[in-house]
């Protein structure tokens, strides 16, 4: 089909005002674009089907990575301002709040992650 369009283009170079050639080329080009569009749509559908079948593996992989990252970033214990070890979530949270408030007020507070 591309060859036919190319041939029509060559003929149009010689006969630029030939309406039949212009119409034939437009029809062939339209037909070609339609075929290309259908093929692209088919490839897109196949791609979605492949992703639906195999996509869960990737999703599971990324979920495991995210879980590992959460575990690595979790603060299990802190040493408080008075030197005590804080291990409960509520104690850690309150310590962070005190540190944040102190920083906002301009006081520097140092805390250590254990």
Model confidence at 105: pLDDT above 70: yes
pTM for the model stands at: 0.40
* DSSP state letters, 10-51: HHHHH-TT-HHHHHHHHHHHHHHHHHHHHHHHHHHHHHHHHH
Model confidence at 114: pLDDT above 70: no
Model confidence at 112: pLDDT above 80: no
Residue whose token pair is 């088919």: 42
pLDDT in tens, 6-65: 888 888 787 878 888 788 888 888 888 888 888 888 888 888 887 777 766 657 788 888
Query: And the tokens for 54?
Result: 């195999």
For residue 112, which of 81, 71, 70, 88 has the smallest C-alpha distance? 81
Model confidence at 69: pLDDT above 60: yes
């Amino acid at each position: 089909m591309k060859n036919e369009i190319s041939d029509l283009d060559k003929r149009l170079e010689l006969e630029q005002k030939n309406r039949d050639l212009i119409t034939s080329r437009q029809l062939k080009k339209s037909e070609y674009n339609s075929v290309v569009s259908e093929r692209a749509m088919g490839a897109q559908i196949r791609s979605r089907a492949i992703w639906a079948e195999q996509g869960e593996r990737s999703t599971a992989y990324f979920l495991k990575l995210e879980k590992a990252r959460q575990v690595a970033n979790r603060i299990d214990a802190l040493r408080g301002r008075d030197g005590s070890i804080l291990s409960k979530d509520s104690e850690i949270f309150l310590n962070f709040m005190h540190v944040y408030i102190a920083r906002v007020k301009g006081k520097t507070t140092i805390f250590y992650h254990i």
